[in-house]
Amino acid sequence: MASSARGPVVVRRATAAPRDTRAVTELLRAAGDPPGDTLAAALADDRWGIVLLAEHRGETLGVTVLRLWGPPGAPSRRALIDTLWVRPDRRRQGIASALVQAASVEAEARGATDVRLVAPSGDPAAVALTASLGYTAVPAWSLYARAPSDTAPMELSIPVEVPVEARAIVRPPGAHQDVPQDVPQGVHGEPAGEHFELAPGAVVVLDPAAEVSPAVSFWSGALAFRTRWAADRRTATWTTEGCLGSRDEGGDVLRFDPGTRRVRETWLSRPSSVRIDARLLAAVEAAPCVPGVPTLHPDATDFACPPMAAALFDVALGCYAAVTAPLAHGGIAALGSPGELRAAAITAHVHLLFAGGRCVGWRVLDPVTHARPMGWPEPREGAVPAGPRRTELTALLYDWMTLDASARVRPDEAADPDEIAHLVAVRDRARRLAALTAPDDDPVPGVARDIAAHVHWSWGFFRLGD
């Protein structure tokens, strides 16, 4: 996985969400390959390719497009990694390599037996990159070929032009509104309600007259839980410019709409350690929600959210929580009483936690329903249905998150296969669940596929070529 000064760079698949269509448009234009009228529709059903985005904490850094030829399951399905581009100020940081590796994993997962990469043959840096990733030149086509096994690369004659249908984004009506119409507007003066300290210099008031705005919750980049107003997904008003909010210091970030002063977006990072404390988890899960919606006090100043020291969850995954160090280390004893712990709803499922009037963490109820580790849920997908698939997915998510927060031996440095047997088991379970036949609206195979891809290149299995 590539990394930046403030954490890892995540590669995920772009979807038809407005934020993604705008990001893909801007990146492809910068790469000299502008998209066109029906980009959002094309992204929704892979009509012209699978687009992968490299991100750092929501900021897009690079893009590549994967194109497949041949029907699924065909014995010689082929793939082309096209339009690889990284922002000039973020090059030579491993981002292009991460994009190519992720595209290769996606291609092979979809049955490609021959993977090729478009790169300028006269560019020494591009030639060096392709060689370092195991690609060999095909001079006649100025492509680079790599077979996923030790079979010799096959010759390939395919057009590489972008179809006409992928040449611009059409913004829906209302795209330039500052505040979506279905969000209550106009918070004037100081709202009535209980006051809680979100961070030093930042107080939120639980406005009892407001209702929780329709929102979308999801996991992002396998590293965080995020929420956005649902209206942002239906329009192109997908921006945080001008929003009030906490400083981005590598931890949690909350951004407030300047008009309503209510939470417009959250980025809640999964802590790097896990705490096993059944009593504290039970208290967190049972904490009652205080009526009202968190509204930023008019006097709030620049602030940073308190860092979260540990994650709390159990094998049932009915609740996932992150708590500050005093609560993580002190447990129930750090509270005057379990009843001191209270919650404030950002969305129906994502809540801030307060004790003694101060923020001590956050929780996500029923996280399995919102599980999409590499980004947005697919537009066609529904909730994770009850049954054996959900049970298997819940167990997989639990083991994956537990190991992801643990010290691990890098697969290519393991002296004995037994050292990584538990990692291999999680990877193989994810692959098996991803391969199951399911209805189009069942998200389970897609979630499992995301986990398999994360394990492959984040845990280092790509170094084994497996």
Gap between the Cα atoms of 377 and 442, Å rounded: 11
401: amino acid identity, one letter? M
- DSSP string covering 175-214: TT-SS-TTS-----SPPPS-EEEEETTEEEEEETT--PPP
Mark which of 369, 395, 430 sits at the end of a domain: 369
Q: Which helix (H) or strand (E) holds 21?
A: helix 18-30
Does some domain include residue 176? no
Question: Do both 136 and 210 map to the same domain?
Answer: no
Please report the pLDDT score of residue 281 as a whole number: 95
Sorting pLDDT into bands at 50, 70 and 90, what band is 81? confident
Q: Is the dihedral angle over the CA atoms 291, 292, 293, 294 positive or is it negative?
A: negative
pTM of structure: 0.64
Mean pLDDT of the chain: 76
Question: Do both 293 and 275 map to the same domain?
Answer: yes
Gap between the Cα atoms of 443 and 81, Å rounded: 26
Checking if the pLDDT of 452 tops 80, the result is yes
Please report the pLDDT score of residue 352 as a whole number: 95
Tell me the mean pLDDT in the region 20-37.
80
Query: What residues contact 143, with CB distance under 8 A and at least 6 apart?
Result: 80, 116, 117, 118, 119, 156, 160
Please report the pLDDT score of residue 453 as a whole number: 83
Question: Do both 33 and 137 map to the same domain?
Answer: yes
Nearest residue to 375 (alpha-carbon basis) of 110, 93, 123, 19: 19
- DSSP string covering 270-311: PPSSB---HHHHHHHHHPPBPSSEEEE-TT--S--PPPP-EE
Does some domain include residue 190? no
Question: Do both 204 and 258 map to the same domain?
Answer: yes
Gap between the Cα atoms of 171 and 175, Å rounded: 6
Angle at 374 between CA 371 and CA 379, to 5 degrees: 70
Does some domain include residue 183? no
Q: What is the pLDDT of residues 271-310, one digit of tens each?
A: 888 998 999 999 999 999 998 889 898 888 778 898 999 9
Question: Do both 352 and 380 map to the same domain?
Answer: no
Please report the pLDDT score of residue 204 as a whole number: 92
Sorting pLDDT into bands at 50, 70 and 90, what band is 187? very low
Mark which of 345, 369, 393 sits at the end of a domain: 369
% of the chain at pLDDT higher than 70? 73
Question: Do both 364 and 375 map to the same domain?
Answer: no
Please report the pLDDT score of residue 373 as a whole number: 64
Question: Do both 379 and 356 map to the same domain?
Answer: no
CATH of the domain at 105: 3.40.630.30
Question: Do both 151 and 59 map to the same domain?
Answer: yes
Tokens (6 digits) for 280: 């504290």
CA distances from 223 to 56, 103, 251, 406 (A): 11, 20, 11, 14
Question: Do both 316 and 436 map to the same domain?
Answer: no
Query: Which structural domain, as residue segments, surrounds residue 92?
Result: 3-166
% of the chain at pLDDT higher than 90? 19
Question: Do both 349 and 392 map to the same domain?
Answer: no
